[in-house]
Amino acid sequence: MKKYLLPVILFFVTQTACNQTNKPMKYNKLTPDEQAVILHKATERPYTGEYVDNKSEGTYVCKQCNTPLYESKDKFDSHCGWPSFDDEIKGTVKRIPDADGRRTEIVCANCGGHLGHVFNGEGFTVKNTRHCVNSISMKFIQNKKEMEKAYFASGCFWGTEYHFMKSKGVLETTVGYMGGKTMNPTYKEVCTGMSGHIETTEVEFDPTMTTFEELLKLYYETHNFEQVGGQGPDIGEQYQSVVFYVNDEQKKMVEKYMKILQDKGFKPATQLRKAEEFWVAEDYHQEYYDKKHGTPYCHIYRKIF
């Protein structure tokens, strides 16, 4: 017995030490372009970043580790070509003097990811500080209160989501099920057509960048809204064309477009129904075509409006 004691004690000591020093950290996977800046300290070209002119309210988090770094209230226009902030969220940005002693690099204090440089004494704002940050080092999280939601069903939700997730002003899309009789439906249950759910895409959008009307036009332009009882080769109640409205304005807008389409000679079969509980679909259905690097087999864009 005795001879096993030492290895056992050593095992516990090692385990404890590991747990103290190696905090479990899960970083986001970075694209080659993100790696070049975040890991190898490259600089994106001025005026090319996603957030240079972003004026929405929200928080900028670290692309690699999601630590909140900057608030939109501290962002200002410096006309230097990169997002500029005159303050950081306390304790989340670390300053490191460059080797040449001229500039000060800024990195995420949590993961060490490169952000950009910080400059003092330029007089842009009263705080007299400019964090010059690469857009690609950050991810912007819009304040929830500014977002609006819409629910569109136009056949297989992979194809519906494909077009909305690429549309300007859309912040997030999720595929799921709406309008059925059961709680927490699975894809299998919905596929039987017995649960009454419709394959639906939830679209969260920034009303300062797009409108429900714009999204509605895209909806009609990316599926066959005249088809009854399914979409393309997908036949069944779960594939019907439905707009689930969340408020009266959306309802009126859909009614207006039904009329416009009829005036153009179409026979829209789209149902207009009040939004109900939205059940998020299984993970592998989310952003399906991007994951598979494919394009929809139906849901081909055609200009109508």
- Which of 37, 38, 61, 62 binds Zn ion (CB under 5 A)? It is 62
Q: Which is nearer to Zn ion, 108 or 150 (CB)?
A: 108
Q: Applying CB under 5 A, which part among 6-14, 41-49, 62-70, 161-169 lies near Zn ion?
A: 62-70
* Shortest separation between residue 92's beta carbon and Zn ion, angstroms: 8
> Three-state SS for 221?
helix
Residue of 62, 65, 108, 132 marked active site: 132
49 vs 61: CA distance, rounded Å: 15
185 vs 8: CA distance, rounded Å: 49
Of residues 92-131, which lie at the interface with Zn ion (CB under 5 A)? 108, 110-111, 113
Cβ atoms of residues 131 and 40 within 8 Å: no
Residue of 65, 108, 156, 298 marked active site: 156
Cα 125 to Cα 78, 84, 86, 104: the distances in Å are 9, 11, 7, 19
Q: What is the DSSP letter of 202?
A: E
Q: Is 138 in the site for Zn ion (CB under 5 A)?
A: no
Q: Is 65 in the site for Zn ion (CB under 5 A)?
A: yes
Q: Which is nearer to Zn ion, 3 or 23 (CB)?
A: 23
* Shortest separation between residue 60's beta carbon and Zn ion, angstroms: 11
Structure tokens at 272: 């207009």
- Which of 64, 160, 238, 270 binds Zn ion (CB under 5 A)? It is 64
* Shortest separation between residue 129's beta carbon and Zn ion, angstroms: 20
Cβ atoms of residues 104 and 98 within 8 Å: yes
274 vs 268: CA distance, rounded Å: 18
Using DSSP bridges, classify how beta strands 148-154 and 198-205 pair: parallel, antiparallel or unpaired. Answer: antiparallel
62 catalytic? Reply is no
* Shortest separation between residue 67's beta carbon and Zn ion, angstroms: 5
144 vs 149: CA distance, rounded Å: 11
Q: Is 142 in the site for Zn ion (CB under 5 A)?
A: no
Q: What is the CA radius of gyration of the chain?
A: 25
Query: How many residues bind Zn ion, per CB under 5 A?
Result: 8
> Three-state SS for 269?
coil
Q: Which is nearer to Zn ion, 108 or 165 (CB)?
A: 108
Q: Applying CB under 5 A, which part among 44-52, 54-62, 75-83, 97-105 lies near Zn ion?
A: 54-62
* Shortest separation between residue 108's beta carbon and Zn ion, angstroms: 3
Cβ atoms of residues 202 and 278 within 8 Å: yes
80 catalytic? Reply is no
Residues ≥6 apart with Cβ < 8 Å to 27: 64, 65, 111
Q: Which is nearer to Zn ion, 113 or 230 (CB)?
A: 113
Q: Applying CB under 5 A, which part among 31-39, 61-69, 88-96, 245-253 lies near Zn ion?
A: 61-69
Q: What does the binding site for Zn ion look like in residue numbers (CB under 5 A)?
A: 62, 64-65, 67, 108, 110-111, 113
- Catalogue the active-site residues: 132, 156
